[in-house]
Amino acid sequence: MLDASRDADIVFIGLAISEPDGDESFAGRLQYIVSQLRTTVFVKCAESFTGQLIELK
C-alpha cells in the first residue's frame, strides 16, 4: 500500500475492528503508515448498515 500510495495527494484507509488486546500494535502500525503518506483519511463502516443501501430524503 505504501509503494502505491506514497505520492498520492490524499489516501483513504479503511479501519477494521481491532482486537481488544491488539490496540497498541494496531495503532503503532497505523502511525508508521501515516507517517509515510501525505493527507490521510481514516474510514470506518457503520456496521448497522452493512450490506444495506441508505435512502436519502
* Spatial separation of the C-alpha atoms in residues 47 and 10, rounded to whole Å: 25
In contact, 18 and 44? CB cutoff 8 Å = no
C-alpha cell at 50: 452493512
Is the confidence at residue 37, as pLDDT, over 90?
yes
With CA atoms as reference, report the closest residue to 14 among 52, 49, 41, 36: 41
**Full-model pTM:** 0.63
Model confidence at 15, in pLDDT bands (50, 70, 90)? confident
Q: Give the position of cell 477494521.
A: 16
**What 8-state DSSP symbol labels residue 19?**
P
Mean pLDDT of 21-44: 86
- Kindly list the domain boundaries of the chain, sorted by start residue: 2-49
C-alpha cell at 48: 448497522
